[in-house]
Chain A
Amino acid sequence: MPFRGALLAPAAAHKCCSIHGPPRSCHFGKIKGNGHIEIAATLLLILVLAPFAGSLVAICIPAHKGTASAWLSGSIALFCLAISAGLYPIVAANKVLRYDINWLPELGLNFSLRMDGFAWMFASLITAIGLLVVIYARYYMSANDPVPRFFALFLAFMGAMLGMVLSGNLILLVIFWELTSIISFLLIGYWHHNANARDGARMALTVTGTGGLCMFVGLMLIGHIVGSYDLDVVLSSGNLIRNDPLYTPVLVLILLGVLTKSAQFPFHFWLPHAMAAPTPVSAYLHSATLVKAGVFLLIRLWPVMAGTDQWFWLVGLAGLSTLLLGAYFAIFQQDLKGLLAYSTISHLGLITVLLSLGSPLAAVAAIFHTMNHATFKASLFMAAGIIDHETGTRDMRKLSGLFKYMPITATLAMVASASMAGVPLLNGFLSKEMFFAEAIETHKYNLLDTLTPYVATLASMFAVTYSLRFIYSVFFGPPPQDLLKTPHEPPHWMLAPIYFLVFSCLVVGVIPALTIGPFLHTAVQSVLGEATPVYSLAVWHGWNLPLFMSLIALVGGIGLFFIMRPYLATSIEGPPFFRRLEGQRIFERVLVTLSWKWARSIEMRAGTRRLQPQMRLLVGVALLAGAVTLLSQGFKPANIILRNIDPAFALLWLVGMVCAVGAAYQAKFHRLAALVLLGGAGLVTCITFVWLSAPDLAATQLLVEIVTTVLILLGLRWLPKRIEDPDDQLMTISTRLRRLRDLGFAVFAGLGMMLISYTIMSREMPETISSYFLERAYSEGGGTNVVNVILVDFRGFDTLGEIAVLCIVALTVFALLLRFRPATESLEAPEQQRVQNAFDDDHPDRKKGDSIAEYLLVPSVIMRWMFPVIGMLAAFLFFRGHDLPGGGFAAGIAMSIAFILQYMAGGTRWVEERLRIHPLRWMAIGLIVATATGLGSWVFGYPFLTSHAQYASLPILGKIPLASAILFDLGVFSLVLGATVLILIALAHQSVRAPRAQIRAAKLAAKENT
């Protein structure tokens, strides 16, 4: 295996041509001053960002100003081309230009751009052909189309391609790769009113996107093997990758991405359907950019992955079958663009075959053909677009004899398709000869290698046939019949890009060494490094076997065309037999089965819209997950010891359990009783906290208990009455069974929780991070109440998140209640009020509403007096919080209780006439104060939410801790207060709104009656 040794060389060579240094610098030799390099590296960034910036501008241009957007895109493309031309001296010196910004260095993901000769070649192709396509598109696009959108997408696509080829990091490369898939989806579907365009776009995205995801996994595996995602590191780790046990999966995954993108068999079917795109899009995507992305990555990774048997078989088989089938299918296309699409597929196959061989000379040919194909295929697509534009059809059965009408277009197309066919003195011929020369070399001793020269000649023969067909059927023969309009030459500027491209085909074809030679050499050297072989770009190599193969292909192809001509003149689209085996059909059938049939049948069988079964499923899965984990890990419940039980504690929990079960039992028919029992269970919980040395929790629990009870009491008014019906007691058997099953679930869950908690609680306490907090709470947090120090200092960021959640919930409640429409049956005044009002009506000495006002007179007076007392308690809780149980949470809730008591004592209107209640403002202030305290530490150069502790002696209050955390706690206090009050008051206000709605309804009814 002669090429094995050669392969190792480039890997070694890469180490010397790219220096790995610290980020945020560009790596390259000492030939120039550093300032120069910095500028060059910045230019690299501009090169990638300029198209995206242009895209953003273009999308803002009004739809009718198409020309302005064309000028913009043209200038951006020209600008990028100029940058890449300006960077040529650096890459020509065989240096690697880098630009690094640390992005997520922990994950090995940096925004690093990297330009070597090969990336430079691609960047120049992308920008140069981009510029030509922009000029062409300016004349091609109709004024009725939203032209700025086209150019915006076009520029974004150009940026994504540039980013892809210039990525110096594998993950970044994937990001740009996926971006090209997504933007090409939008470009192909540009005429979204057309169903074919939509389908083609969707298919392209599904196929290339799926491949891209596979490739992502493959590249991550490479990163795993190499230990870095940096391209320079990867390129110098060829042996590591090839000898890794994961090599085969990595190769398969990456090839899935590459072969789908480059439309290789069996994933080729999306490309012909992508022809529904506007022709400039096809000319750009399918000559120099999108499909070449796959080839690009194949060449990029060639030095580190090629040369193995797996590579040879996988890449070779895909390439050879694509080469042959693409060329064969192309002959039978009736659509001009369809023919070009299949020809593109076939030529990409040719490049893939070259890369599969693993020899440096073949790699040179692959790089060379990549450039040549881009030039002649772009010009042919443009010519096809002109023909379509001028005649209104692309059907070769309808077209003929156009030479008379458009001689310039015809001549240009003829030269370009001669290049496609591989006629001497054109660039296509040169790379094809190199291909033949490599095909006859023996690289491996197996069937595939033996077959390669024959398949190559046959495919080349087909290429001659379809190229000839393209020219002959369109430009020669009798004048065209029933065309919609008389064709004529397009505007001069529409032809200009084709002139340029065809001219370069010719020049490169005649004097390759003087024109393309140096550029090709730069590109080749950056890929192959020291393994760069000696190759000759001469036109004439003497009478050798490749030339004979070319001659056979040429003669055979011409002969085949004249044999096939009568059949092709009338045949239907697509090759015989194979047309039934359409990839698209299979693809669609698979999609329909997967995403429609199976999905629906699963939904039908497993889905339900009813919540109760869903809840059972959820709890069931949770129980199962818990049980399986515990049992499989050998869970042993602790021995139950009945000694040492405090009878008072046991009695307490007996009450707690009775409350819990009672609440569960009464919740359906006796809501108030259930609420009281729930409160009982809450109180038992609260006492448990006190008992077990957690005063902070007990205080908070007690306060929250009060607020929750008030909240649910306020809600009870709007629920429908439910009165126990004695007949309902006779339950059916199915209901009994259902309840029994639910009881089973509940008992199982309860027993499980009991066992788990008992087992853990009776074990020894392991060493946890708690000691950390206990040791540092005072020395670093400046407080003795460790719980509070954790909340406002150590884990202040969590608390900030938590109060933000509270804020969001309060706002959601507020918003939901703004649009609240109670059920009509709960609109009328509650029974108690009615009774009281009726009592007033019956007694002439009482005014209506007196009873309601006098109701709970004594308690309400007490409640009013309680306001300052509770306010004082809240302040007390707040200030001692850092050192003793209390804190912002508890104080906030306590203060909100003070407000709620006023509402309960005096009624909504009474309170709001006397107090200014602005819970929204309090919440806002709280959030701002907490965040500002956090930001404040930035001013002193500390990380977000670092606190500073200090004790201050104040008169009367004495020594109080004044950590900056207390400011944060103030924010917590204000927000908790605001949120709680907002929630409760918003609910309480519903009772005020409801009578208004009633009055309004009554007025409306009265109006209608009169």
Chain B
Amino acid sequence: MELVLSAGIGVLTASGVWLLFRPRTYQVIIGLSLLSYAVNLFIFGMGRLRVNAPPVLEPGGVGGLLTHTDPIPQALVLTAIVIGFAMTALFLVVLLASRGFTGTDHVDGRE
């Protein structure tokens, strides 16, 4: 389980980093999205991988790390997902504006 997920994180990171270095803005935005998957999964993995662990408490109950999933990485990733969307949106609009101004989709604004 751990090995598969970490291999997945590795491949996502590698694809993301490769795209970050590419000259076209669209490549970079795809690369950033892939990287953010990798980072979210990485943060999530910090709470260890638990299959079939209850994520919510019994009403009136008290939870513990032995029985329940770790809520902190989840809370962190939840906000990261939303902020990641905002970042993608902002970046997309900036790249569209840059394309409109410069007439090219190269990251430097010129070929």
Measured CB to CB, the residues of A under 8 A from B are: 609-612, 615-616, 619, 640-642, 644-646, 649-650, 653, 656-657, 660-661, 663-664, 667-668, 671, 674-675, 678, 681-682, 684-685, 688-689, 691-697, 700-701, 704, 707-708, 711-712, 715, 718-720, 722, 742-743, 745-747, 749-751, 753-758, 760-762, 765, 767-771, 773-775, 777-779, 784-787, 790-791, 795, 798-799, 802, 805-806, 809-810, 812-813, 816-817, 819-823, 883-885, 889, 893, 976, 979-980, 983, 987
Of the candidates B14, B22, B86, B92, which one forms a contact with A750 in the assembled complex, judged by CB atoms under 8 Å apart?
B14
Known: A664-B30, A685-B37. A640 touches B12 (CB 8 A): no
Q: Verify B79–A649 contact, CB threshold 8 A.
A: no
Select which of B55, B61, B94 is within 8 A of A787 by beta carbon.
B55
Contact among A650, A742, A774, A883 for B62, CB-based, below 8 A: A774
Inter-chain CA distance A808–B58, complex, in Å, is 38
**Contact pattern, B 34-67, Cβ under 8 Å of A = 1, otherwise 0:** 1001101110111111111111111111111100
* Most B-side CB within 10 Å, residue of A664, A696, A711: A664
A489 CB to nearest chain B CB (Å): 68
Asked whether, in the complex, the Cβ of B72 is within 8 Å of the Cβ of A768, the reply is yes
- The 4 closest A-B CB pairs, nearest first, are A750-B14, A754-B10, A774-B63, A758-B6
Complex: chain B residue closest to A640, CB-CB: B3
Residues of B within 8 A of A674 (CB): 26, 30
Additional pairs, 15, CB under 8 Å, beyond known A667-B31, A761-B46, A771-B65 = A612-B108, A653-B5, A653-B7, A682-B37, A688-B8, A712-B88, A750-B15, A751-B10, A754-B9, A773-B72, A784-B56, A784-B59, A786-B71, A791-B75, A810-B89
Cross-chain pair count, CB within 8 angstroms: 327
Minimum distance in angstroms from A697 CB to a CB of chain B: 6
- Count chain B residues whose beta carbon lies closer than 8 angstroms to a beta carbon of A: 93
Cβ of B11 and Cβ of A660 under 8 Å apart?
Answer: yes
B59 touching A778, Cβ below 8 Å: yes
Partner of B42, one of A668, A749, A753: A753
Encode contact with A along B57-98: 1 for CB under 8 Å, 0 otherwise: 111111111001111101101110111111111101111110
Known A685-B41, A753-B9; judge A778-B62 contact (CB<8 A). yes
CA distance A147 to B64 in the complex (A): 71
Q: Chain B residues in contact with chain A, CB under 8 A?
A: 1-27, 29-31, 33-34, 37-38, 40-42, 44-65, 68-72, 74-75, 77-79, 81-90, 92-97, 99-101, 103-105, 107-108
- With beta carbons under 8 angstroms apart, the residue of B17, B24, B94, B95 that contacts A746 is B17
Out of B1, B50, B82, which one reaches A644, CB within 8 Å? B1
Q: What B residues does A817 contact at CB under 8 A?
A: 93, 97
Which chain A residues lie closer than 8 Å to B59 at the CB level?
Answer: 778, 784, 883
Q: Are A609 and B53 in contact (CB under 8 A)?
A: no
* Contact B18–A742 (Cβ < 8 Å): yes
Question: In the complex, A667 Cα to B26 Cα: how many Å?
Answer: 7
Asked if residues B26 and A708 are in contact (CB atoms below 8 Å), the reply is no
A696 to chain B: which residues have CB within 8 Å? 55, 74, 78
**Residue pair B74, A787 in contact (C-beta under 8 Å):** yes
A754-B10, A883-B59 as given contacts; A653 in contact with B48, CB under 8 Å: no
Question: In the complex the two chains form, is B65's CB within 8 Å of A615's CB?
Answer: no
**B21 → chain A closest CB, angstroms:** 4
Q: A692-B51, A694-B74, A778-B57 are in contact. Are A757 and B5 (CB under 8 A)?
A: yes
Q: Which residues of A contact B22 (CB under 8 A)?
A: 667-668, 742
Closest to A655 in B: B8
Chain B residues with CB under 8 Å of A786's CB are 55-57, 63, 68, 71
* Shortest distance from the beta carbon of A978 to any chain B beta carbon, whole Å: 12
Chain B CB within 10 A, most for which of A693, A707, A979:
A693
How far is the CB of A916 from the nearest CB of chain B, in Å?
A: 23
Q: State A809–B16 Cα separation when bound (angstroms).
A: 23
Closest-by-CB residue of B relative to A641 is: B3
CA distance A54 to B46 in the complex (A): 58
CA distance A684 to B21 in the complex (A): 25
Q: In the bound complex, what is the Cα–Cα distance between A612 and B49 (angstroms)? A: 36
In the complex, the answer to whether A791 meets B78 with C-beta atoms within 8 Å is yes
Given A688-B41, A820-B100: A889 touches B78 (CB 8 Å cut-off)? yes
The interface residues of chain A lying within 8 Å CB-to-CB of B11 are 656-657, 660-661, 750
The answer to whether B93 and A688 touch across the interface, beta carbons within 8 angstroms, is no
Per a CB cutoff under 8 Å, which of A644, A656, A770, A979 touches B70? Answer: A770
Inter-subunit contact A749/B94 (CB<8 Å) = no
Given contacts A786-B71, A813-B93, contact A692 B44 (CB under 8 A): yes
Say yes or no: B96 contacts A693, CB within 8 Å.
no
B8: A residues at CB distance < 8 A: 653, 656-657, 684, 688
Q: Which residue of B lies closest to A982 (CB)?
A: B89
On whether the beta carbons of B78 and A777 are closer than 8 Å, the reply is no
Contacts of B12 in A (CB 8 A): 656-657, 660, 681, 750
Does B90 lie within 8 Å of A809, measured CB to CB?
A: yes
Contact among B26, B83, B107 for A805, CB-based, below 8 A: B83
For A809, list chain B residues within 8 Å (CB): 86-87, 89-90
Cβ B57 vs Cβ A777 within 8 A: yes
Q: Report A-chain residues with C-beta under 8 Å of the C-beta of B46.
A: 760-761
| Whole-angstrom distance between the Cβ of B16 and the nearest chain A Cβ | 8
Cα-based distance from A980 to B9 in the complex (angstroms) = 28
When the two chains form their complex, are residues B107 and A612 in contact, meaning their CB atoms are under 8 A apart? yes
Chain B residues near A774 (CB, 8 Å)?
Answer: 57, 62-65, 68, 71
Give Cα distance in the complex from A345 to B34, angstroms.
Answer: 66
Contact of A697 among B54, B62, B63, B77 (CB under 8 A): B77
In contact, B104 and A820 (Cβ under 8 angstroms): no
* Residues of the A chain whose Cβ atoms lie less than 8 Å from the Cβ of B34: 660, 663-664, 678, 681
CA distance A754 to B27 in the complex (A): 23
Contacting residue for A806 out of B7, B77, B82, CB 8 A: B82
B108 touches A609 (CB 8 A): yes
Is the CB–CB distance between A820 and B71 below 8 Å?
no
How many Å lie between the Cα of A954 and that of B100 in the bound state?
Answer: 54
Q: Please indicate which of the listed interface residues A799, A823, A893 has the most CB atoms of chain B within 10 Å of its own CB.
A: A823
Q: A611-B108, A768-B72, A813-B90 are in contact. Are A754 and B6 (CB under 8 A)?
A: yes
Query: A736 to nearest B CB, angstroms?
Result: 14
